[in-house]
Amino acid sequence: MRINVALKALIAVALAGSFVGCNNSRDYKDNSRATGWDINSKDGGFQYKTDYKEQETGPGLVFVEGGTYTMGRVQDDVMHDWNNTPTQQHVQSFYMDETEVTNMMYMEYLDWLKNVFPPSEENYRNIYSGALPDTLVWRNRLGFNETMVNNYLRHPAYANYPVVGVSWIQAVEFSKWRTDRVNELMLEEEGYIKEDARYTDVNAGSTFNTETYLNAPSQVYGGNTEISQGGRESERMIERNEDRADAEGNTIGGQTFVQRKDGIILPEYRLPTEAEWEYAALGLVGIRDYNVYRGRKKYPWDGQYTRSGDIKRQGDQLANFKQGDGDYGGIAGWSDDGADITAEVKSYEPNDFGLYDMAGNVAEWVADVYRPIIDDEFNDFNYYRGNVYTKHEINEDGSVKIVTPEDVRFDTLSNGQIVARNLPGEILQTPVTEEDTYMRTNYTDSDQRSFRDGDKSSSRYFQPFQEIDDPSKRMYNSPTYDNITYDDSTGAVNRGYDSAQRTTLISDEVRVYKGGSWRDRAYWLDPAQRRFFPQDMATDYIGFRNAMSRVGSKSKDKNKKARN
């Protein structure tokens, strides 16, 4: 009798344990860990993309797994600039363009601007002209380069050559445009917006902008919901919401546009930071052995020389650069690098990340404002100098303010060129205020470009609670060109020239550019070398490529085990 009772008790305990075990091992993929409620229920409730795998690789990009490296470690410092002090930095995983942005890619941008904002209309004339590369950068007072002036940008012979004559500001605007066009196509292919609307329904008052779609979706395409909700999936979302009604027959509202939580819209295309560019150019992943880096790399390829040691290509140059005085390509019939000016992209082998021309061909704009030092004492994670924090401008009714064709604002650059600050369809931006930053410890102002270097507190003349009125005593006493005026009656431009004595060219308007170019000697091929140039000027040797942040896991191989 006692044995039966004990046996029954043991069975009861085992069953109870099994129920508890089942409950603890419950699959919460379709149930909330917070409440136990169903997720993505047909009856309503919380909707979320639970089957999301990872970020899709955008057009033209390759994946760069992040990690640590020594930024600014150069093999040679013959210039003695003291701007390459080595610092240990960590970069998050990101994506980068496989090649530099080419003439054909940039021409597609110009073609879109010309069709949507016809330069023949006075309101839009400066939108198109402000995006045009400066082809006159090829001219030389003692050289005959008119062939490049007339042909390099537009002739199909140069279609896959890197675009030049583009300022940093123009490169940033191209990146914004590219973001919107890629996301517009993705939404169309997923069936959320009207098919081929990007060809047939787009005009100055009806354009797609990614941030507008995410923050005010009913106002994208100028408020035309027949376009923004004209895809098959959008129609299903609307029908599903119409089928849901309460007991009194009132429709229960639900999602009818794609949101950020759906994981369909990609992050922005942008210029890479200096830390990202240098990390990607080095390609240290190719020489890593159990998290220990074997040796130092002078170039994006392995080895200490610019010529190939491969038997089949022995002696060939591994990049397009200037060999010596008067030697831009080698001897005719046996060319060292196969190019005299720029070369077609992918003419040389990629580095270990799969990136082409991270040394030579053209130098490349990066996002950072230039300063002689990298302040690793303050930050050693995703280092970047150039943050200017803004927020969406809000109307009186609480909605975001969308730029209309009549609201386009233009900026006059130091060289007198007029460029559009924003385009119709974008959300107007405004600087953050003291009210926004009150009691914050991570930032206090909108403009952080001169933080800890270049502000008045960095000057040797600084005294607390006392302003520095004398411009010559500023940390960076650079030239100013903010006194350009226009005569409305004649249209004449009165350019102002800075006549004050200046001590430096460094300011918040100069940007870093990296990598050697077809005009540079091998010294500049070292990824750690850095130079700067005004952000509103262009040359015949600086181009650019885009990057994109990665969201989610550091590695694409989620099953990769950590090494012991």
DSSP characters over 520-544:
S-GGGGSTT-EEEEETT---SSEE-
Q: Is the pLDDT of residue 490 over 90?
A: no
pLDDT averaged over every residue in the chain: 85
Q: What is the pLDDT of residues 427-457, one digit of tens each?
A: 999 999 999 999 999 999 999 998 988 666 6
The domain that holds 531 is classified in CATH as 3.90.1580.10
- C-alpha separations of 118 from 108, 111, 123 in Å: 15, 10, 9
Q: What is the pLDDT of residue 50?
A: 87
Per-residue model confidence (pLDDT) at position 456:
66
Tokens representing 18 are 């099994």
CB neighbours of residue 240 within 10 Å: 14
Q: For 172-176, 371-375, 452-456, which range has the lowest pLDDT when averaged over its residues?
A: 452-456
In angstroms, what CA-CA distances link 250 with 107, 236, 247, 257, 557? 51, 19, 7, 21, 48
The predicted-structure confidence for 450-480, as pLDDT tens digits, reads as follows: 898 866 666 667 666 666 666 667 777 788 7
The runs of H, that is alpha helices, within 96-244 are 103-116, 125-131, 146-151, 168-189, 197-200, 210-215, 225-228, 232-243
Any domain includes 119 = yes
Which tokens go with 517? 């170019």
How far is C-alpha 502 from the geometric centre of its chain's CA atoms? 33
CB 163 within 8 Å of CB 105 = yes
Mean pLDDT of 229-255: 70
* 552 Rama sector, left if φ>0, alpha if ψ -120 to 50, beta otherwise: left
Does residue 233 lie in a domain region?
Answer: yes
The residue written with tokens 């904002």 in the block is 117
Q: How many CB atoms lie within 10 A of CB 252?
A: 12
Which tokens hold the place of 555? 């590695």
SS3 label, residue 42: coil
Q: Would you state the structure tokens that stand for residue 85, as one six-digit string?
A: 């002090």
Contacts 24+ apart (CB under 8 A), 305-308: 306/522, 306/525
432 lies in a domain? no
Percent of the chain with pLDDT over 70: 80
Separation CA 544–CA 362 (nearest Å): 8
Where does residue 542 rank: exposed (0-12), middle (13-18), buried (19+ CB within 10 A)? buried
Average pLDDT value for residue range 388-404: 93
End-to-end CA distance of the chain: give it in Å, rounded.
57
DSSP code at position 501: -
Residue of higher predicted confidence among 77 and 185? 185
Asked if 328 contacts 143 with a C-beta cutoff of 8 angstroms, the reply is: no
Provide the domain limits for residue 185. Answer: 61-398+410-420+512-549
Q: What is the DSSP string of 157-191?
A: GGTTSBP-S--HHHHHHHHHHHHHHHHHHHHHHTT
Answer whether residue 429 is part of any domain: no
Query: The tokens 């940008």 sit on which residue?
Result: 153
pLDDT band at 46 (very low <50, low <70, confident <90, very high): confident
- Give pLDDT, residue 317: 74
Q: What is the pTM of this model?
A: 0.88
Side-chain half-sphere CA neighbours of 474 within 13 A: 19
Dihedral (CA of 210, 211, 212, 217) sign: positive
The pLDDT of 181-196, averaged and rounded, is 95
Number of domains in the chain: 1
- Enumerate the H helices of 46-137 as residue ranges: 103-116, 125-131
User: What integer pLDDT is reported at residue 188 of this predicted model?
Assistant: 95
Q: What is the mean pLDDT of residues 211-222?
A: 94
- How far is Cα 78 from Cα 68, in angstroms, rounded to an integer? 26
In a domain, 51, yes or no: no
What is the pairing mode between strands 542-543 and 363-369?
parallel
Contact 65, 93 (CB under 8 A): yes
Q: Looking at the domain assignment, is residue 294 inside a domain?
A: yes
Which residues touch 483 (CB under 8 Å, ≥6 apart)? 496
Q: Are 209 and 425 in contact (CB under 8 A)?
A: yes
Residue 313: which residues within 8 A CB-CB, separation 6 or more?
none
Give the closest residue to 194 by CA, choosing from 180, 205, 208, 204.
208
Average pLDDT rounded to a whole number, residues 376-390:
95
Reading the block at residue 54, the tokens are: 């990872």
Catalogue the E-assigned strands of 375-442. 390-392, 410-412, 418-420, 429-431
In angstroms, what CA-CA distances link 317 with 303, 307, 340, 363, 515? 13, 4, 13, 17, 16
